[in-house]
Structure 1
Amino acid sequence: VSDDANAQSSNSQVDLLAAALAGDATSGAKTKKKKGKKGASVIDDDASENAIDPLAAIAPNAESTSRSAADDEALQAELLAAALAGSGPKVGKKGKKKKQKKGIAALLGDSESEDERVSSSENVSDQNSAAANAASDLESTEETDGEADVELDTNVSIDDLDEEAKEEFSSFIEEVENFTFAGRVKKAKAKAVVTKQNQKQSFGTGGEKFTSVRFEDVGVSFGGKQVLKSVTWGVKTGDRVGLVGKNGCGKTTQLRMLAGEVELDHGEIIRSSGKTKASFLRQEFVDELVLSRTLREEFLASFTEEQAAVAAYEQLEQEVASAGENGKLDQLDDLLNKLEEARLKCDELDAWNLSPRIDRIIPGLGFTEEDLEKLVGAFSGGWKVRIGLGKVLLKNPDLLLLDEPTNHLDLESVEWIEGYLRQCDLPMVIVSHDREFMDRLCNRIVEIEAGEAFSYNGNYSRFLEQKAEQRKAWEAAYERQQEFIREQRRYIKINRKSVARAGQVKSREKMLLRMERNGELVREPPRGVKPLVFRFPPAPRSSRDVIVMDEVTHGYGDRVLFRDVDIALERGDKIAILGPNGCGKSTLLRLMVGIEQPQKGDIQCKELPNAVLAYFEQNQADALDLSKSVLETIQAAAPSDMRYEDIRALLGKFLFKDSSVENKVESLSGGEKARLALCKMMLTPANILVLDEPTNHLDIPAKEMLEEALQHFDGTLVVVSHDRYFVSQVAKQILAVEDQELVLYDGDYKHYIERNESIREKLTERAIKGVTDIKAAPKIEIQALPEQSEKKRKKSFGGSGIQSGKVKVMNAKRWNK
């Protein structure tokens, strides 16, 4: 064979041998020659295209593909050895070969319509799915067939690629790895080594002045659903980290991990000391307050460890005192030693001075000595937040964890907590959907997206800027990746039947499959996702007056909240009730819906003709049955004639899809519970919506979805909310509680702040430009029902021209006499 090989000319011998191994010498030689030419021209064209690529620095190497005589001689020997070994394609393996080609084609592209494929845009999720299917096909082929004419090892190292593919791949990965999962993990690990070395040099035995806690490649799943994939970020003294992301992405879960309440599936949490202690102010902390306790008793209840230590000391003290009487003198030495240990424990915890510790903290929280003897139930929602914050600070934490601390707070209370936390030396991690609060307080933002963490230095405004810049780079990296994949597909398609380039084709196939296997694909950036939309059921026809209050005075004990209220709300009104914490806004709603009765006067709502009322309480989400699943919750509240398909469709509108409807309510985040509670309201059509803080716990997309739904609601709306932007988008009139009186501003929220200079200055100072600026309420055209075309009566005040699509005027009996 060797003599025969030397007797033939180099080029013709290579072509003939290749064709012979393929089973058709004549057609094989022609195909080889033709394909070789075409391959060179396509690659040269690709290089020309890349020359004008904005990311030209990462254009792949486009060297000439012509082969030398030495290459041909080496290839001759390879082909002849393969022929002797019987490794060429075999006719009897057609089924196997077809299976493999199909699997590879899923990632590498269909060889019949390359031009159409190149010209069309490609979705990375489809690509990832195809890659997974390709890998699955290859694995199943290896299991079912005894032999393989091409063994494709997808675990190949980059060093196993041919030099040309290796150079192209290395150049490409170097440019895009910051946007691949594998690249981010690599970078995080390198940073973690430095962090651990610094910790060994800097940290002592706990209680140190400098605290550091860091997530390292942390992942966790609940009920088979992966919540966190690979989270790496940290917080240290001086940091006020804002944790942001969509509802259900794992923000609260990470706070619970830092508090030691959730076990990790993988990864670790690195602490500066084994004694580093975190205190956690939960979303639902109000439910943990005992309303019948005095404020002092509630604060004392924070000292669980200290009180246990004091109780143990007192018990040992009694045993020592009664040792002689009980005949235990022989145990006295042992009891005295235990007593001394208990005393030292109390000293370490400063357990002897619990009341003085409370006295030191209350002035900063805004409480007085007299307040300590008041019942917790007497304080409003805003002051209860101060109680909760005081309880966690009394634990002397090294790390402060705050989950939605501004829920229920008015502007004055939010400004107080901002100032208080800015003066606090503790490192802190804050979860909040209040963008202005995060902007004014945080100095670093960590965003959770697709199970990973992305860290940005600066406040929320700076985060938005950096994210926009990163998005541009991300999109460029993704487009570069797609072009790189298309180039490799072209090369593979053109040279698939070329024996001379069989090794290079195989290397590129391995390279593309390896990218998916090793997390080296750039995920497709979000593309202008269509906002979620839902609509409240059409409001049943109601009477003209829907809520009437006649000479109403109400309060608690000697305290009067409002007096001599005389109002009538009409069909189609959209009113927001505003006022400071504790002024009686939620109380006013409870009076309207009949939960409470006024001390003086009369209220009518449900008693009026055709009134159908839906009431969303401030803690409506907390009233859900935690033992039920999402689906069971809605099925239990749905009308008996409501079909299963309609229930599932309704849940889908609130993002409960597929298997997520089987999740237990207890496993839902605060935002998911709020969405479920809103979903329940949709089951029965209503013409009066009374909503108390409906946006608490909702993320930005969910808030916008609710805003849009309320704008299109054709019934009457009465809402209490401290979310000023939300109010500006849904309310047409403002009802302000001012000095025990209700004052109407017959216009939207922008109209209201224009008439309150002090409020306008504060809001202007706080606003994130282009994000939370107060705008006029949008004018929404709502199709009026035919029977609503009756003649309208005129009201004595109103006529502001602000309309919701229906032509409306105000009732004469509308306000305080």
Structure 2
Amino acid sequence: MSLITLKDLSLARSAPLFSGLDLAIAKGDRLGLVAANGRGKSSLLRILAGPEEATGGTVTRARGLVTAFAPQDPPERLLPMSLYDAVLDALDSEAAETESWRVDVLLDDLMVEESLRSRAVGSLSGGWQRTMLLARAAVVEPDLLLLDEPTNHLDLARIGVLERFLAALPRDCAVVAASHDRAFLDDVSTRTLFLRPAASADFALPYSRALQALEERDAAQGRQFENDMRKVRALRQQAAKLKNIGINSGSDLLVVKTKQLSERADRLEESVRPAHRERSAGAIRLANSGSHAKALVAIKDTMIATPDGRPLFRSGQLWIENGDRIALLGANGAGKTRFVTRLRAALGGGDPEIRAAASLKAGVSDQALSQLDGWPTPWAAVKGSSDAGDQLARTLLAGAGIASEAQSAPISRFSGGQKARLAMLLLRLAEPNFYLLDEPTNHLDIEGQDMLERELVAHGAACLLVSHDRAFVRAVATRVWVIEGRRLVEVDDPDPVFDRLMAG
């Protein structure tokens, strides 16, 4: 029996986000929801949850269905509440009065420290806010649990907690998770819905296998499209010949026949155009200005410490050479951010234990996308970061997915995905030969992650990256550094490290 059924569902904003969507979610389903940024994933979750209406189609819910939705960000009214009270607030007044123990049990299951439970939601990190929103959704014991980007801002240990929590849910509880985290989707999903403006695709497979099936289907449709387009071209050629004959002979019948052939060609072309040909959310391009130096960065055996001087780990003697793509892994609090901060400061000179080659030109992107700070608009950012002329600046921004009408809009209004693509464009314009990237995939959709991976590999630029994105690290890293036991060590394979970090 289906918990919820969608029939011919459509949603349009300024353009169609999806249409003709048929979907049935049954007890126990684990559905991964995949689409580019801004293509309707969050809206579909809100339609499933109830507060948002579709443009067309029907939604049929099972009688008595209990649905719970964990959005990406907490509602403003929850920010002054303690984490504990924000979760308790999800219960009705009677349950909150008599069954508050459910909150305690749930927060224990999610490994929320006692010291965090009394803190105001607004003072918590993004990761702990996500945990609170998950707890609010789960505490009502739903039949259908809806999660919007649940791994954003979580480190690997917290992702491990999340995956174990989902695996331990009652067998008949269905979960729909919209996510750009490919490894997470592979771990938790048994079905995948690729949401598209038309002809959305639903496969009874986890993400990676579903993607392969989708690509095979798209390739087959592409071949069929080419065959059909040959028929369209033949019809148009016949129409053109008849038109010339009709004009020369003055035959009204041939003129009518010409019009019929042209209309038939138009209908055929419209009907066969592939639904999977989607407009990209914007390209990501990088650059590598190159360097003749063999070692771009040389690090002596140095102590990395907290701002107040507490030792975290020793680095050992290290080098970063041309073409190295190094992933830095470690538990939360091990010192990854302090190491990156120290390295970033040292690139400008003045640190006797970390030396950069004279030819090194750094491009830096942190979790907060600080390269956007100080620029009011995308136009100002590109013009202020390069000597690009007006036409080239417009072209660059359009290529990054920022339409002309948005190029002079405040950056503060942009989505996380738009900001991430603009930040990558500014990195490219800096023409670095060494990239220092802290969680670069945080706001990128899967298309953007794939582009960034290809660019880093294709250009051969050296980089040091900190990331909790397991698929990204596997695809990009040529070397892996791990902070373990107050030492920085190099390992050959990141997967055992991922396993240890996720096990907590």
Q: Equivalent residue for 2:312?
A: 562
Structure 1 pair 728–480 and aligned structure 2 pair: CA distance change class (3 A)? closer
Q: Equivalent residue for 2:365?
A: 616
Structure 1 pair 277–666 and aligned structure 2 pair: CA distance change class (3 A)? farther
Given the alignment, which residue of 430, 433, 442 partners 2:180?
Answer: 433
Bigger drift between 363-372 and 378-387 goes to 378-387
Query: C-alpha distance in 2, partners of 1:569/1:226?
Result: 51
The answer as to whether partners of 1:418 and 1:441 remain within 8 angstroms in 2 is yes
**Deviations 1:168-225 (CA, angstroms, capped at 9, x unpaired):** xxxxxxxxxxxxxxxxxxxxxxxxxxxxxxxxxx9xxxxxxx731536431222xx44
Matches within 5 A, 1:546-695: 546=297, 548=299, 551-555=302-306, 562-567=312-317, 569-570=319-320, 572=322, 574-594=325-345, 613-620=362-369, 630-635=378-383, 637-638=384-385, 641-659=387-405, 661=407, 665=411, 668-686=414-432, 688-695=434-441
Q: Equivalent residue for 1:736?
A: 482
TM-score normalized with structure 2 length: 0.75
Query: How far 1:363 sits from its partner (Å)?
Result: 2.8
The letter for the 1-side match of 2:449 is K
Structure 1 pair 533–698 and aligned structure 2 pair: CA distance change class (3 A)? closer
Identity %: 27
Higher radius of gyration, 1 or 2: 1
Q: Equivalent residue for 1:709?
A: 455
Query: How far 1:735 sits from its partner (Å)?
Result: 1.7
Query: How far 1:375 sits from its partner (Å)?
Result: 8.6
Structure 1 pair 399–673 and aligned structure 2 pair: CA distance change class (3 A)? farther
When you count helix as a share of all residues, which structure comes out higher? 1
TM-score normalized with structure 1 length: 0.50
The answer as to whether partners of 1:252 and 1:669 remain within 8 angstroms in 2 is no
The letter for the 2-side match of 1:254 is L
The letter for the 1-side match of 2:3 is T
Query: How far 1:550 sits from its partner (Å)?
Result: 6.0
SS at match of 2:210: helix
Matches within 5 A, 1:699-778: 699-711=445-457, 716-745=462-491, 751-753=492-494, 758=496
Matches within 5 A, 1:787-802: none
Query: How far 1:359 sits from its partner (Å)?
Result: 1.0
Matches within 5 A, 1:159-170: none
Query: C-alpha distance in 1, partners of 2:370/2:173?
Result: 31
For structure 2, which runs of at least 5 residues remain unmatched after alignment?
A: none
Query: C-alpha distance in 2, partners of 1:524/1:381?
Result: 36
Q: Equivalent residue for 2:194?
A: 447
Structure 1 pair 464–685 and aligned structure 2 pair: CA distance change class (3 A)? closer
The answer as to whether partners of 1:408 and 1:722 remain within 8 angstroms in 2 is no
Query: C-alpha distance in 2, partners of 1:255/1:652?
Result: 29
Structure 1 pair 374–738 and aligned structure 2 pair: CA distance change class (3 A)? farther
Q: Equivalent residue for 1:360?
A: 105
For structure 1, which runs of at least 5 residues remain unmatched after alignment?
A: 1-201, 203-209, 307-344, 596-601, 746-750, 764-817
The answer as to whether partners of 1:537 and 1:685 remain within 8 angstroms in 2 is yes
SS at match of 1:211: strand
When you count strand as a share of all residues, which structure comes out higher? 2
SS at match of 1:589: helix
Query: C-alpha distance in 1, partners of 2:216/2:197?
Result: 19
The answer as to whether partners of 1:279 and 1:397 remain within 8 angstroms in 2 is no
Q: Equivalent residue for 1:7?
A: none
Matches within 5 A, 1:29-428: 211-212=3-4, 214=6, 216-221=8-13, 224-259=14-49, 264-267=54-57, 269-272=59-62, 277-282=67-72, 297-304=82-89, 346-347=93-94, 350-353=95-98, 355-367=100-112, 369=114, 372=117, 385-394=130-139, 396-409=141-154, 413-424=158-169, 425-428=172-175
Count of matched residue positions in the alignment of Structure 1 and Structure 2: 486
Structure 1 pair 370–670 and aligned structure 2 pair: CA distance change class (3 A)? closer
Query: C-alpha distance in 1, partners of 2:302/2:284?
Result: 41
The letter for the 2-side match of 1:456 is F
The answer as to whether partners of 1:534 and 1:653 remain within 8 angstroms in 2 is no
The letter for the 2-side match of 1:752 is D
Structure with greater contact order relative to length (CA < 8 Å, sep ≥ 6): 2
The letter for the 2-side match of 1:366 is M
Query: C-alpha distance in 2, partners of 1:667/1:506?
Result: 49
The letter for the 1-side match of 2:23 is W
Bigger drift between 407-416 and 734-743 goes to 407-416
The letter for the 2-side match of 1:441 is V
- C-alpha RMSD of the superposition: 4.8
Query: How far 1:737 sits from its partner (Å)?
Result: 0.6
SS at match of 2:490: strand
Query: How far 1:718 sits from its partner (Å)?
Result: 1.8
The answer as to whether partners of 2:371 and 2:423 remain within 8 angstroms in 1 is no
Structure 1 pair 414–478 and aligned structure 2 pair: CA distance change class (3 A)? same
